[in-house]
Structure formats: C-alpha cells, structure tokens
Amino acid sequence: MIAHFFAQLPALPVILPLLAAPLCVLLRHATLAWLTYCTVSLAVFGISLLLLVQVHVGIPISYAMGGWAPPVGIELRVDTLNAFVLVLVSGIAAVLGPYTRASVAAELPAERAYLFYALMLLTLCGLLGITITGDAFNLFVFLEISSLSSYALIALGTKRRALLAAFQYLVMGTIGGTFLLIGIGLLYIMTGTLNMADLAERLPAVADTRTVEAGLAFIVVGASIKLALFPLHAWLPDGYAYAPSAVSAFLAATATKVAAYVLIRFIYTVFGATYAFGQLPLGEILALLAVAAMLYGSLAAIFASDVKRLLAWSSVAQIGYIVLGVALATPAGLTAAILHMLNHGVIKGALFCAAGALFWRLHRSDLASLAGAARAMPWTSAAFLAAGLSLIGVPATAGFISKWYLLAALFEAQQGWLAAAVLISSLMAVIYIGRVAELLYLRPAPDNVPAPTEAPTAMLAATWTLVLVNIGLGLYSTPVVDVVRSAAASLTGGGA
Amino acid sequence: MTIALPWLMALPAAGALGVMALGRWPNLRDGLSVVTALLLFAAACSWLGPVLDGARPAVTLIPILPGLSLSLALEPLGLLFALVASGLWIVTAIYAIGYMRGNDEHNQTRFFACFALALAAAMGIALAGNLLTLFLFYEMLTLSTYPLVAHKGNDDARAGGRTYLGVLLTTSIGLLLPAIILTWVVAGTLDFTPGGILQGHIAPAAAAGLFALYLFGTGKAALMPFHRWLPAAMVAPTPVSALLHAVAVVKAGVFAVLKITVYVFGIDFAAAGDFTTPMMWVAAFTILAASVVALTRDNLKARLAYSTIGQLAYIVLGATLANGMAIAGGATHIVMHAFGKITLFFCAGAIYTAVHRTRVSELDGLGRVMPFTMGAFLVASLSIIGLPPLGGAWSKWALMVGAADAGQLLMIAVLAISSLLNIVYLLDIPARAFFRPGTDLPAGRQEAPLACVVPLCVTAAGSVVLFFVGGHILQLLAPVTGS
Amino acid sequence: MSTFLGLYNYWIVVLLMMIGFYIVIGHDNLMKKLIGLNLFQTSVFIMYISAGAIDGATAPILGNVDAPYAHPLPHVLILTAIVVGVATTALGVALVVRIHEAYDSLDESEIIAACDTGDEPAGEHRDNA
Amino acid sequence: MFAAAMAGVAVTMLLLLIRALLGPTVYDRILAVNVFGTKTVLLIAVLGFLDGRPEFLDVALVYALINFIGTVAVLKFMQYGDLGWGESDHPDGDV
Amino acid sequence: MTEHTILRVVAKLTIPFILLFALYVQFHGEYGPGGGFQAGVIFAAGIILYTLIFGLDEARRVIPPWAVRALISGGVLIYAGTGVACMLLGGDFLDYNVLAHKPAHGQHLGIILVELGVGVTVTGGMIGIFFVFAGRGRRREGTVE
Amino acid sequence: MHPGERRQAGIMQRYSVSLGAVLVALWLLLSGHYSALLLGFGAASCLLVLWLARRMGAVDAETQPLYLMRHLPGYWLWLMAQIARSNIDVIRRVLRGHNAISPTMETVQVSGRTELAQTILANSITLTPGTVSVDARRNTITVHAISAEGAADLNGGEMDQRVRGLETREPGYHR
Amino acid sequence: MALLLDIASWLLLLSGALVAVIGGVGMLRLPDVYTRMHAASVTDTGGMILILSGLLLQAPHWLVAVKLLLVALFLLLTSPTAANALANAAIQDGIKPMLGGQRRG
Ligand code: NA
Ligand code: NA
C-alpha cells in the first residue's frame, strides 16, 4: 500500500490542484476556498519535496498516465531538475497561502474570492504540469492552462488598466504558446513521437533537416516569449504591475521560472546542448539578449515610478541572468541558471509580497507614496530591504550565491565582458533598490496622510518566510547547490 | 582564558539587538553600548597572549557553498585590527553619548544599534578566515554604516549617503567581488594561507591586474580615484566620522589590503613577481595629491578627511612595497593613525559642540578657550606627522626602511615630502589656535562636555603611550612579516 | 502529387500565419488583434492536420478488444489545440468586452493614452461575471 | 453517383458563396450563408455514404442544428443588438 | 424574440430532442465519431437556442448560474475523480483497467466516466460563456437608461 | 389545489407522458445498442430531458399535439405534393428569368385557433417554394409570393382549411 | 431488385443535385432578397428531399435510414422557420419587396 502510494506521487502535484480548483468553484465560499488552496499547496509542496529526495538519491521516476507505456501514452517524468522546479513552484504557492487571505480581501470583492483561489489552483496545476510532464504536447496543454488562468488572474487587478494588461499578456502569451506548438509539431512530423525522452533519441537521425532547425527556433522563441526575454518582454511589466498583489508575487516567483525550465528542458534534454548550440548561433544570440535584458531591464527599473513596475522591470533584468547561464552551455553556467531560478523566485516573491503589503496599507503603489513608510511599517520595510539586498547580491543572501556561480561560470568560460555586464546590472540594482530603501527609511512621511499601520501578521509571516529562506539559502546553500549541480551535470551529459 | 572567536562577532551583534530593545530607556541603552564595547575589548585582549605564543585558532561556521565556508581564523594582523577597533569603540561610544545628547540628535537608537552592528562587521573582517567571509563582513560594514552617514536625513545627508554607498558598493561589487571569484576560479580556494594561494596559479602580468582589482575594489582604502566617498561622508555626525576614519571603516579597507597582499598573494610571490609596482605608484600619487588637496581645504573635517586619504595610502604603499618591514610599517600605521585621527575628529566635534565652528580659518585664538582640546589636537598632529616621542614615528620609520629594502628610493622621497605637507596642513591649526588672536570668542574657558573632552584626552595620551609599545606591536607582527 | 499537396498545405499554413501575425501587430483595434490571433492559431491547426494526413492516421479509433481506446494521436492533438484556441478566444473576447465597458474604446493607443492622462483611483474598476 | 450529387451540391454552394459576397443587403448574405449551411449538411451526408461511414449523419444533424442556431443568433443580434434580450426586457411592448 | 410565434413554437418543439440527441452522442462516443466534447457542444447549443428565443432571464431561471458553475467544476471533478479512483484502486492515474474486475470492462467504464466529465464541463463552459456574452450588451443598455 | 389547477396538472402529466414516450422512442431508434448499460443511460437521459423540458415550459399542447396525430400523416402527404408542385413551378420561373415573376404581397387569414396552427400554416407556406411567410400575427399571415398565381392559390385557402382540419378536438390551450 | 433500387437512387440523387443547382442559379438571378428566398426554398426542400431520398434507398442499415429521416425532418422544421425569421427581420428593417412588374433600372 505504501509502495503504491509512493508510486503514485508523481501524479499528485497535477491532480490535487486540478481537483481542488473545481472544488473551490463548487464551494463558492471565500474561507473554504482559501483553506482548500492552503491545504493543497502545502500537500503538493510536501509531495514535491518527497519527489526531490527520491530522485536525488535514486534515479529519475517515470509515471505512465493511464497505464500506457511512455512513447504512446503520456508520461510524467521526474528527474532532479524538474523535482527542483516543482519544489520551487509549490513552495512559493504554499508560502503565499496565508498572504492571499488578507491581500485578496483587500483587493477583490468578497463574492469573487473563491474564483481567485480556483484560478490560482489552476495556474498551479498548469505550472506543475509543465514541469513534471515528459510529453511535449502535454507540456503545451499545461502551459496554456497556466497561461489562461494567469490572464484571468491579472484581469482581476483593481485598476481598469489590468484588463488591458491581461489582454496584452494574452496576445503575447498565445503567440508564444503557438510558437511552441509549431515547434513541437515540426518535431512530431519529423519523428512521429511527442515523448521528450523519445524525441531526444530519435532527433539525431533527422537532426540535419531544416524542419528540425525550424522546430528548435520556434521552440526557443516561444519559450522566450513566455520567459519575457528581452525584447519579447513587453507583456511582463504591465502584467505584474496591475495584477492583484498576491498574483504578482506568485507569477513573478514561479511563471517565468517555469518558462526558463521549458527552455532548459528543450535545449538540453530534447535537442541536446551540442546540437542546439552547434546548429545555430543560439548561445551567442541568447547571451546577447540576456545582456540586453539585464541592462535594459535594470535601466527601466531605475526610472520606474511605481514600485510594482520597478520590481517587474527588475524581473526582466533577472531573467537575463538565468538565460545567460543557460546560454553558456557549460555545467557551471547551467548550475548558475538553475540556482538563480530558485533564488530569484524566492527574492521576487518576497519583494512582491512586501510591495503588496505596502499597497495593502497605502492603497497606492507609486514610489512617492512610500515616503517614510518604514516608521509605521518597520517589518514590511525591513523585509523589502532584506530581499532587495538579496536582489543586489549582497553576501549572506540567496542572490549572492547565484551571482557567485554565474560569475564563476563566466570567468571559467573566459567571458569577462559578460561578467562585466552582470556586475553593471547588479550595480544598477543597487540604485533602484536604494531608491526605494531611501524613500522608506530616510524621507519624512507626508503630513496630510494618516500614518499607516503595520500589515497583517499573516502577510508579514509569508513575506518574512520568504526573506528568511532567502537568508538561509545565502548562508547555507550547500545542499541546494549539490542538488542543482547534479541536475546540471545530468543535463549537460556529465556524471552527477 | 580566551573567548571563542564567534563571540567576538556575536557580542556587538547582540549589543545591537539589545540597543534596539532598550530604545525606550536611553540611559540603559547607552550604558549597554559602553558595556558591550568594554566586554568586546576584554575579549579581544584575551587572545593577545595566546597569539603572541603562536596560537592560530580557526573556526568553520557554515559551508555557504560547497567547498567554501563562513570561517574565522585569528592571526596577528587580524588581532591587531580587532584590538584597535574594539579599544577605540569604548572611547567612541562614550564620546558619542556626549555628542548625540549634546546636539539633541534624533533617532539615537538606530544610531547606536547601527554603530554596534558596524563593530560586529569589523570584527568579522578582522577574524575572516577566507576572502568570502571577508567580503561578507566588508559589505555588512558598508550597509550598517550607511544609515549612520545619512543619519541627519536631510538632502545633504542623503546625497552624502548616496555617494558613500555608491562608491563603496560599486567598487566592492564591481571590482572586489570579481577579483575574489577570479581567485576562486584560478586557485580553487579562498582561504587566507601564510605564503599566499596564488603563486603558481597565475602569471605575474595577470597578477598585476588582479592586484589592481583587489586594491581598487577595496574602496574603503580610499585609493584615488575611488576616494570621493570619504569627504562626502563628512555630513555624518562626528562620532560617525571617528568610526569611519579611525575605528572601523577605512581601517577595515587597508587591513583588507594588507591581509590580501600577505595571505592571498604572499609577500614572496609579490616580491618575486614584481606585479605590485603599478599600484605602488597609485599609492604614492594618492599620498601626495591628498596632502595637497588637504592644504586647500578650509573646512576642518574636509581637511581631516583628505588627510586620512593620504595616510591610508601610506598603508597601501606599505603593502605594495611587498617586504616584511614595509608591511609591518603599514600595519603599525593602522594603529598609529587610528589613535591620531580619532583624536583629531574628537577635537573637531568638541569644537563644534562647544563653539559651533567648522572652518579652520575660524579657529584663531581658540587655544585659550579650549586648551585641553587644542592641546590634544597638537599631540595627535605630531603623531601623524611622525615625530617622536609619539606613536606615528614607528610606522613612518618602518615604512622608510621598507622602501629602502625594496630599493624604492623615490618612495622615501615621497614619504619625506608628504611629511612636510602634513606639517603644513596639520600644524597650521594648533598654531592658529594658540598664536593668533581670536574674534568673537567667549572670554573664559569653554570646553565641550566632559564626555567629549575625556575621550579625546585619552586617545591623545594613547598616541604617546604607543610610542613606548611600538616595539611590542612589531613583535606581534613578526610572524606575519617574517622579520 | 502528395508531396505537392503537402507543400501546398504548408504554404497555406505559412500564409495564414503571416496574415494573422500581421493583423496582431499591425492593428490597434483589440478585436482585430484577436481575430489575427485566431488566424494565427488556425494556421497551426492546419499544420497539424497536414501532419496527420501524411501519417495516414485517419482512423480516430485504434486498438483491439482488450484496448478499445487508444490515443488517436493527430486528431486528439488537433481537437485539444482547438479547444485551447477556443478558450483563448473566449477569454480574449471577454476581456475585450470588459475593456470596452471600462474605456468605451477598443483602440489600444487610445486606451493607453486614456490611462496615461487620467489618473485611476484604486478600486475604481470592479468586475462581475 | 454520390460524387455527382456532391458535385451538384458543391456547385450550388459556390453559387451561394457568390451571392453571399455580392449582397447587396445584409439579409441577402445571411440568406446565402444559411442555405450554404443546409447544403453543407447535404454534403456531409453524401460524403458519409461516399466514404462508407454513415455515422457522418450524426455530424450532419449537428451541423444542421448549429446552422439554425447561428442564423437565429445573427438575426436576433441584428434586431436587438444583443443576444440575451427576452420578454421581460421589453421597454415598450411589441416591437 | 418571444413575439415570434413561429420561432417560439418550433424551438419548444425541437429543444427536447436536441438535448436528447446530445445525450445520445454522449453515451455512444465509443461507437461513433461522437464523444463528450461534441455532446457538450450540442447540449449547450440546445440551451443557447432556448436563450436566444426566450431571453437570458428565462434561460437563467432554467439553468441558474450556480448550476453552470456546478457543471463546469463537476465535470472536471468527474474526470479527475475517475483518475484518482484508478489510483485508489491500485492503478496509475487514469489507468482504467483497475476500475472493474475485467480490464476491458474497466476501460469501458473509465472511458464513459471520463467522457461524461468532458461533456459536462464543455456544456457548462459553453453555456457560461454564452450567458456572459449575452448579458453584456443588455447590461450596458441598462446603464444608459 | 383548485379543481382547475388539478385539471391543468393532469393535462401536464399527460403531455409529459407523451413527450417521454416520444423521447424513449427516439432514443431506441438512434441508439441501436440495447445493452442494459446503454438502456439505463437512455432512461436517465430521457428523464433528464423531460425534467428540463418541464422546467422550460416546453411541455404543453403546442409541443405535444396529441390531438393532431390522427390527421398529421395525411397532411404531410398533401404538403409533400404541394412542395413538389411548387418546386417545379419556381424552377420554371427561375429558368425563364425576370419576365416570369411578378412578386406580390398577400395577407392570408388563419382560421386555426391555436398558435400551433398558425405556426404549421406559416411554415407550410414557407416550405412550399414560391411563397414565404413574412409576418405572422393574430389571425393573419403576410405572405410574399413570387407570382400572382401562387398568391391566388393561397387565397383559395385549401392549406388553411387543411391545417384547421388537423384540430379536430378542442385543445386545452387557447391563443 | 437491387439494380432497380440503385437506378432509382441515382435518379433521385441526380435530380436532387440538379434542383439544388437551379436553386443556386435562382439565388443569383432573382432580383431581391424576398424573391431569392423562393429560390433558396427550392434547394432547401426539393434538392434536400430528393438527395436524402436517394441516400435513403442506399441506406445499409435501418439505423442509418432513421437518421436520414431525422435529418430531413429537422431540416423541414428549421429551414422554413429560419426563412420566416429572416423575411420578418428584413421587413422590420424596412427592406421593401419589389412588387408586380417592377424591374431593375
Ligand atoms: Na470518442
Ligand atoms: Na417557400
């Protein structure tokens, strides 16, 4: 019985949210829906941890949906990489549980709260599905499930501009998803299979055809749109700026990371790094775009006038770090990229949580409104500051660890100029985080506005959990780095 | 009996927490500051004997990364810095209580908490067992002192704070961090190891580049052109200036330079590879240029700030000369300059508190009004100039010998010329105070509060005492310098 | 003949894709964008249908007595993709309708201009099912 | 023979398409499209027999249904500018 | 459109048979080209025809909004629940073989349930979407008044 | 419950039974599979549809015209003949072109008393090529005819009479 | 017998196709929407009944025949209804029918 339970673990991260989402709709009760969300996200987090432990000490797990053997049926396949991403996504979802309660109560009409939780669960289901599936087409389906529900989530934002932001995201996201679908279709035409492991085996035989090259190009572009890689990032700043706070935090922490996972999975597992980087100047192009993203995103963040928008632009820049690591095509680079997926997820989650808590009290998110808020909201402000330092890459924070590995990988690959770009972008982060910190701590609060009070404990708890995880990762990253390294090593073909 | 190394950091950190907790009871809070400082100094002193006897305690705290831990290790150089920082914290704490209360400053709790935090960071730097640990606490020091620099919160203070943070973080993230990571990539370790870790892993030409990255990256050492933050930080209250110039910040910078030279590159490798010469010229240029600029400054704190820049470059020069005597001279100068400069800043603060004057040209005749203050000023100036029987004589002498050992006779000339410039811009001030007639001065004596005057007298006396213990300092450093 | 037919299909796919993409990018009207998006997606359905035709996998149901149900691949894929497309279009239309209610305009640049000039008080816009 | 019938239906559909394009009134177009739909139903039915897959008749039936509903919806939208209009919405009785 | 006597009478006459036909397609999926998806579309089409002719309010009386939500989510629950039932009975997710004593029967049952889930969800989804869109224009009219 | 209501309810039951019977028949005709499972599904489906139809108010004399049944087949045959005849007529006119048509609008009296009768009549008119019901209200139907002859045929009223003849028994439902 | 059935079926299908085409021609030739509706009616009734009857004779199974009849029945019920609604909408919209001997131009 226990063995059967463990054998069923891979299916649960997808099924539990999928079952819970309609349950929320049926319950139609904010608190019950919230409880459902919390329970499921926690359960899924636990399961993901179990899976990670299982694959880290053992071998990849294959789970056949419907009992059909993999090449024919849909396979769920867990290896170290996606178990790691599962932990990240479900962990963020679980931490946001307490946060959503107050945040949703403040930003959404009560009678629609259940819808919010249903959509969050659907998004979670989609993101986890993308991560865990071993079938390329199935990946597309989960991608669309998560995308559609996140469009709807963004449209729930308080300002009417949220609608346009959601629409723009829908247009870009659909183009991205369709590109991915085209790429997958081309591979399918050439190989007759959709199973990713199977694809990896069959592609070399037809690798030299234009169709496969085109497939690679379409998939990379599609994933890049979902990833918001410069210059395909246009949807992200508006989307994150106008979404409800909890949604911004959730999507910023998870959605782009999962898109990065898709990019890594296709480049390294399906096509193989040798082919992907050998056939087209893919590494060079990605590195160039990554640098452009780091610099442009940081610059835009410096000139942003709204804190959520600032954070969103910073995400554009941080995605550049991840892609840069991917583009290096070395185990060290990939290690850095995967590490930064986790670390940036935790950091951005914390920052958006803090921004949401500020918004919760101030009802505004423009920078000017933050003046002097630290006095009334010391815990929120301190959380923002701590996470901001991590974003900059100050030692003893998670951000430092990933930056360390990225720079080491760049030096190892003798890419000094790229390292310089990373450093410049980090310094730009000092400026935009510094702006917010100075406003919070050193500006006097306006006299005409009643002094706000500290955010609710539940919101603070979630925010500080992320901040502490952040610091914990910064101080003791060895186990995480071990896991990431073994994931990167198996992807790049080296021994674990 | 010795105190475990982590406690040396935990003590001021706990002090910071205590200060925050006691924010509502100012007397308790300020008392805690002083007590913590005393305890810390005592703890540091407990290690003096064992280290002199050759003990080299080391502790590994957490493996931050695989193969890279947060680790502490005590050696003579670090102990010296720890002793200076913790010792001067005592007087600075007392002085700060007087100053902050005397000037009725706001946000005193935040001030004292950050002060204690800065000391914790300084202890971390002193005890760092590897470059990663050093970098961690170096950044912590920058961040914990930023609120102190921008303490006043007005536009000037914020602008000063921005420059402070901007220069220090730009150099550390932009230059020091890549230098460390390069070292890691090249050498595979970051541990401070006697004899260095780079020899055999890197060509001398590349080493010259790396060395430059380290020295410029250590922005706290204020080598030109990365010195702007120090004058900009003048906006801070005087106790902060003391902290910056004497207790922790700049000293952490030059300490890091010495430590990196000795334990990362290794004196032998540096001497043999001859890759330090370019940076030696940068240091020499900084010495002279800073002295000239100091001459032109009428604002007392600005003049002292440029003086500090020049004096720090002495220490860097010692590192770049890359021989035992020069290193010893540089290390000794950390102590000597600390005592001298803290006295000078205490005096500047006392003058501001007592008669609200900030410009050199306004100090005429002040000697009669503030005899203790100006007397201390004179003593400290003479020490920094390097005249016996004051502590500064030891370090100047050692540096000159080091320059001669290295065959850099031009550097002896640089040291000589800069001493003359020191005389001109430093002695100018007590000379005015004692020998020129003052205007609009109070009739009788009007010293600053006792909490201000006593510390500055103590540190001035310290400068004298140091002349007599200078030999012991060199003895403590002997295992490092190999002489 | 069959290769020509195959190529012919792909030309239609490419043409539709280009037209759809052009409409998405070139038009300011949100509804037209959505139509372009639909065209864009439709081209991909045709591509998959062509792929299915090449495979000759026309029978939607395979298998034997013990396994009456198998994955009739191309058809399931197309049907799934179409469902996704329909869902996207429905959501898109719903958004367009609500944007029109909120702004009284469907012109993207007009809407953005309206956002930039008029300040939007928080909580002004609430939606309803 | 089925092919001949299909050809006839296809030609009819072509003619209807021309009418749909020519208009001139919107009702001409709706009429043409509606009849086009019913011809499609016939086409599907014949196609089913041609292919030997008479289950296509189910599809034909569904198509007839959709065609009818589509026409009604378009006419309703033309008349009321809204698809949800009902008896209770009448502002002034009969139109 | 209720004043259109002919439409109204014909609609009343045909709708029950449309709905029955939808259910026929639903339950004969494995014998023909039908299935849950198509059945859902047809069933919803019947309701949509009713809405077009008798108005949204009347349609919402017959199929209240909660029922629409229940259909959408209930369908997903049936689908996923079948999968979970397979897991609980010792198989993999959607591994129908374990649903009955004989694998063939299990598969039969599994397909029926899963198709039912799909059909119910599609029905609810289509009706929901139509209700939302049909209600939009009128709401605007209402605000004008 | 008033006697009238009870009577209504009784009628309702009767119509329900008849609709149910038709539904069951349709299911059996469509299905072709008579396993217990599918028959069960059929029964459930019929009940569900019946329930929904009652909710919709679609179970009444209009939709379950029991009273028409006897005469309906005859009417159908007659109508088919009409359709055949008018098809030929219209085809001839189409082929001959513009000169062969003389469109007219006519008003036709409806003598049947129910809406159902009106509907049957209007649809029958439309079904036969050459005439289209344009507007149906109260006791009249406005008809567009392709030729004056066709319109004249209608005014002869044979169709109207036959539709009225369908209603041999008084339905419980009045217009 | 089978041959007879086939011949009848072919005839029905052919004539159905022919009637449908003529209806289509009428859709093009007749002058306004109301007259065109008569042509539409030709294809919708004549064409449809003939073709479906042709198919009916070929039905391989009584189930198929039933479905064919259902399709026919549904079309006979809905196509005049749609036509009524269309004509009604056109009249309501103010589209005047061309009457009597009126000619274009
Ligand atoms: Na099916
Ligand atoms: Na007619």
Q: Which ligand sits nearest to residue G81's alpha carbon?
A: 2
| CB neighbours of residue D95 within 10 Å | 9
What is the C-alpha to C-alpha distance for residues A429 and A435, in angstroms, rounded to an integer?
A: 10
In this structure, are strands A75-78 and B58-65 parallel, antiparallel, or unpaired? unpaired
Query: Which residue of chain D comes nearest to E32, CA vs CA?
Result: D55
Element (H, E) at F147: none
Whether residue E10 and residue G81 make contact (CB cut-off 8 A), yes or no, is: yes
What pLDDT does residue G82 have? 93
Question: Which residues have their alpha-adjacent CB atom under 5 A from ion ligand 1?
Answer: E 29, 35
Instruction: Check pLDDT > 50 for residue E33.
Output: no
| E61 located within any domain | yes
CB contact B16 to A (< 8 Å) = no
- C4 touches E: beta carbon within 8 Å: no
Query: SS3 sequence, chain B?
Result: CCCCHHHHHHHHHHHHHHHHHCCCCHHHHHHHHHHHHHHHHHHHHCCHHHHHCCCCCEEEEEEEECCEEEEEECCHHHHHHHHHHHHHHHHHHHHHHHHHHHCCCCCHHHHHHHHHHHHHHHHHHHHECEHHHHHHHHHHHHHHHHHHHCCCCCHHHHHHHHHHHHHHHHHHHHHHHHHHHHHHHHHCCCECCCCCCCCCCCCHHHHHHHHHHHHHHCHHHCCCCCCCHHHHHHHCCHHHHHHHHHHCHHHHHHHHHHHHHHHHHCHHHHHHHCCCHHHHHHHHHHHHHHHHHHHHCCEHHHHHHHHHHHHHHHHHHHHHHCCHHHHHHHHHHHHHHHHHHHHHHHHHHHHHHHHCCCEHHHCCCHHHHCHHHHHHHHHHHHHHHCCCCCCHHHHHHHHHHHHHHCCCHHHHHHHHHHHHHHHHHHHHHHHHHHHCCCCCCCCCCCCCCHHHHHHHHHHHHHHHHHHHHHHHHHHHHHHHHCC
Alpha-carbon gap, residue B377 to B306, rounded angstroms: 17
Q: How does residue A112 score in pLDDT terms, banded at 50, 70 and 90? A: confident
Taking only the tens place, the pLDDT of each residue in A141-179 is 999 999 999 999 999 988 888 999 999 999 999 999 999
Contact B451, B346 (CB under 8 A): no
Q: Is the pLDDT of residue B140 over 60?
A: yes
Instruction: List chains adjacent to chain G, taking adjacency as at least 3 C-beta pairs closer than 8 Å.
Output: D, E, F
Q: Looking at residue B440, what is its pLDDT?
A: 76
Q: What is the mean pLDDT of residues A374-388?
A: 89
Element (H, E) at F109: strand F104-109
Going edge to edge, which strands form the sheet with F104-109? F104-109, F140-145, F131-137
Chains in contact with E, where contact means 3 or more Cβ–Cβ distances below 8 Å, are A, C, D, F, G
CA distance A408 to chain C (A): 41
pLDDT of C9? 66
At residue C118 the predicted structure's pLDDT band, cuts being 50, 70 and 90, is: low
Structural domain total, chain E: 1
Q: Which residue, among G25, G27, G35, would best test binding to F if mutated, counting the most F CBs under 10 Å from its CB? A: G35
For chain E, helix, strand, coil in percent to 5 are 85, 0, 15
Given a contact as 3+ CB pairs under 8 Å, which chains touch B?
A
Report the residue from E33, E103, E108 with minimal CB separation from C60: E33
Q: Which residues of E touch A25 (CB under 8 A)?
A: 69, 72-73
- Domain region containing E85: 5-134
Centroid of ligand 2 to alpha carbon of F126 (angstroms):
4
Mutate one of D9, D51, D56 to test the G interface: name it (highest G CB count within 10 A). Answer: D9
What single letter denotes the amino acid at residue C61?
I
Query: E81 C-alpha to center of ligand 2: Å?
Result: 52
Percent of chain B with pLDDT over 90: 4
- Tell me how close the Cα of C112 comes to any Cα of chain A, in angstroms: 8
Q: Which amino acid is at C15?
A: L
Longest dimension (CA), chain A: 72
Looking up tokens 């105070």, which residue turns up?
A: B433
| pLDDT greater at residue B2 or residue G64 | G64
Selected residues 66-95 of chain D with any CB under 8 Å from a CB in chain E:
66, 68-69, 72-73, 76, 79-89, 94-95
Phi, psi of B70 (to 5 degrees): -80, 110
Whole-number Å distance, alpha carbon C41 to ligand 1 midpoint, is 24
Boundaries of every domain in chain D: 2-80
Q: Which residue type is seen at B156?
A: D
Segment A281-306 shows an average pLDDT of 92
Q: Kindly tell me if the per-residue pLDDT of C71 is higher than 50.
A: no
Q: What is the DSSP string of A434-462?
A: HHHHHHHHHSPPPSSSPPP-PPPHHHHHH
What's the pLDDT at F113?
76
**DSSP codes of every residue in B243-305:** IIIIISHHHHHHHHHHHHIIIII-HHHHHHHT--HHHHHHHHHHHHHHHHHHHH--BHHHHHH
Q: Which of residues 79-118 of A touch E (CB under 8 A)?
A: 118
- In chain E, which residues touch D (CB < 8 A)? 1-3, 7, 18, 21, 25, 31-34, 38, 41-42, 45, 48-49, 51-59, 130-131, 133-138, 141
Ligand closest to Cα of C75 equals 1
pLDDT mean across residues, chain B: 84
CB contact (8 A) between residue A427 and residue B136: no
**Contact residues of F toward E, CB < 8 A:** 19, 23, 26-27, 30-31, 33, 38, 41-42, 45-46, 48-50, 52-53, 55-58, 60, 62-63, 115-116, 118-119, 122-123, 133, 136-137
pLDDT of residue B245: 73
pLDDT 10s digits, A328-354: 989 999 999 999 999 999 999 999 999
Ligand 2 centre and the CA of B59: distance in Å? 100
Residues 65-104 of G with CB under 8 A from E: 74, 77-78, 81, 84-85, 88
Q: State CA A366 to chain mean position distance.
A: 24
Find chain E residues with C-beta within 8 A of D68's C-beta.
Answer: 49
Contact A397, A389 (CB under 8 A): yes
CA Rg value for chain C: 21
Q: Does F78 have pLDDT greater than 70? A: yes
Report pLDDT digits (tens) over F94-106: 888 777 888 888 8
Residue F143, helix vs strand vs coil? strand
D26-57 burial code (b ≥16 CB/10 A, e <16): ebbbbbbbbbbbbbbbbbbbbbbbeeeebbbb
Q: Does the pLDDT value for residue F142 go beyond 50?
A: yes
* Confidence grade of residue C74 (pLDDT, cut at 50, 70, 90): low
Nearest to A366 by CA among B161, C121, C112: C121
Chain C residues close to A163, C-beta within 8 Å: 95, 98-99, 102, 125
Q: Does E74 touch chain A (CB under 8 A)?
A: yes
Q: Helices marked H in A243-306 — which ranges?
A: 245-264, 273-279, 282-302
Q: Tell me how many degrees the CA angle B266-B272-B275 measures, rounded to the nearest 5.
A: 80
How confident is residue C59, by pLDDT bands cut at 50, 70 and 90? very low
Task: Give residue E30's pLDDT.
Answer: 63
pLDDT digits (tens, 9 = 90+) for B310-331: 888 989 888 888 888 888 888 8
For residue G74, the chain D residues in CB contact (below 8 A) are 61, 64-65
Helices (H) and strands (E) in chain E, counts: 5, 0
> Whose CA is closest to B362, among B439, B304, B302, B293?
B439
Contact (CB<8Å) D38/G14 = no
HSE-up of A226 (CA within 13 Å, CB side)? Answer: 32
Contact present, A354 and A339 (Cβ < 8 Å): no
In a domain, E142, yes or no: no
User: Is the pLDDT reported for residue A67 higher than 80?
Assistant: no
Minimum-distance CB partner of G27 among D19, D54, D95: D19
Best of B133, B169, B176, B213 to substitute, by most chain A Cβ atoms within 10 angstroms, is B169
Is pLDDT above 70 for C120? no
Interatomic CA distance for residues C90 and C2, integer angstroms? 36
Contact present, G30 and F94 (Cβ < 8 Å): yes
Q: Which two structure tokens, joined as six digits, stand for D14?
A: 């072509």
From the list A127, A128, A140, the residue with the least C-alpha distance to A9 is: A128
Q: Tens digits of per-residue pLDDT, F148-163?
A: 887 777 776 788 888 8
Is pLDDT larger for residue B239 or for residue A324? Answer: A324
**Does the interface ipTM go beyond 0.90?**
no
Across the interface, whether the CB atoms of A427 and B143 are under 8 A apart is answered: no
- C87 to chain A: closest CA residue: A148
Angle A457-475/A80-107 helices, nearest 10 degrees? Answer: 150
Cβ neighbours of G52 in D, within 8 Å: 42, 45
Q: Decide if F133 and E15 are in contact by the 8 Å CB cutoff.
A: no
Q: In this complex, is the C-beta atom of A4 within 8 Å of any C-beta atom belonging to chain E?
A: yes
Q: What is the pLDDT of residue F168?
A: 61
Distance from CA of E104 to the nearest CA of C (A): 5
Average pLDDT over every residue of E92-111: 74
F138 by DSSP, 3-state: which? coil
A36 vs chain E: nearest CA distance in angstroms? Answer: 14
Q: Which of D83, D88, D92 to mutate to test the interface with E (most CBs of E within 10 A)?
A: D83
Q: How far apart are CA A272 and CA A204, in angstroms?
A: 9
- The tokens of C69 are what? 């149900």
Touching C (3+ Cβ pairs <8 A), the chains are: A, E
Would you state the pLDDT for residue F32?
A: 81
How close does chain F come to G45, measured CA to CA in Å?
A: 7
Confirm if A474 and A468 have CB atoms less than 8 A apart: no
Contacts of A23 in chain E (CB under 8 A): 73, 77
pLDDT tens digit string along B43-82? 888 888 888 888 888 888 888 888 888 898 888 888 888 8
Residue whose tokens read 């719903």: C94
H or E element: which one contains G31?
none
The number of C-alpha atoms within 13 Å of B436 and in the hemisphere containing its C-beta is 15
The minimum CA-CA distance between D84 and chain G, rounded to whole Å, is: 17
pLDDT value at residue F174: 43
d(CA A440, CA B136): 24
User: How many CB pairs (< 8 A) connect D and G?
Assistant: 140
**Higher per-residue pLDDT: A433 or E106:** A433
